[in-house]
Amino acid sequence: MKIFLDNADIEQISHFRSLGIIDGVTTNPTMLRSIGSKDLDRHLCEIANLVDELHVEALGDTVEQIVSAARGNYGLGGSIVSKIPIGEDGLAAVQILRNEGIATNLHLVFSVNQAILAAKAGAEYICPLIGRLNDSGAEGFEILGEIVTVLRAEEDFTTMVMASSIRSPEDVRRASLVGVDAITIPSEVLSKCLIHPLTTQGVEIFKRDSKRR
């Protein structure tokens, strides 16, 4: 399973990369603005140079605008995957971008039907938003499990499922058990995944006992 850091902060990205536990980064314009980034393209280039794979938005009101944005992302670094909202324009854009060798992630996916159509279109990734599904009153992990089951049952589908909108270490555990191909995790949640009270207790005991003579 691939682990992505859902972040735009260069320092935090560098930190988690140094631990050898992330395969890439996902980010969006809101994250970039929140850390005060003024030159978005330069900032994205810095991130792309740090990781093997960077997922970033390609937005537009038309197919042409989406394709143009994705081409712009790709021009910043070949490792950049463009996140495109699911919809008719998004599906059409994927067809054009596939022929140009530009990878895509159809996101804002909330149903099995959307996932099937995204996979049929040939997107490299789909991105179901688990937290938002739960917020709406739906069973996010049940839907996520159905998506994984359906896509794995069809041999022609190569699209990877990336769980997103992760809120807690428990979300990480449940998404992993469902069998997703990738998961994108905020830095604060990823840090919590390293912690267990028994580990902390064990370290304290070993430290204490190492001082005994």
Active site residues: 83
Give the contacts of 116 (CB within 8 A, at least 6 positions apart): 150, 151
- And the tokens for 85? 């909202």
Crossing angle between the packed helical segments 10-18 and 40-50, to the nearest 10 degrees: 0
Q: Specify which residues 171 forms β-bridges with.
A: none
At position 207, the amino acid (one-letter code) is K
Beta strands in 58-178 (DSSP E): 80-85, 104-109, 125-128, 160-163
**Cross-strand bridge partners of residue 82:** 56, 104
* Distance, CA of 207 to CA of 54 (rounded, Å): 40
Q: Residues for the chain: how many in total?
A: 213
Q: How far apart are the first and last CA of the chain?
A: 45
SS3 label, residue 109: strand
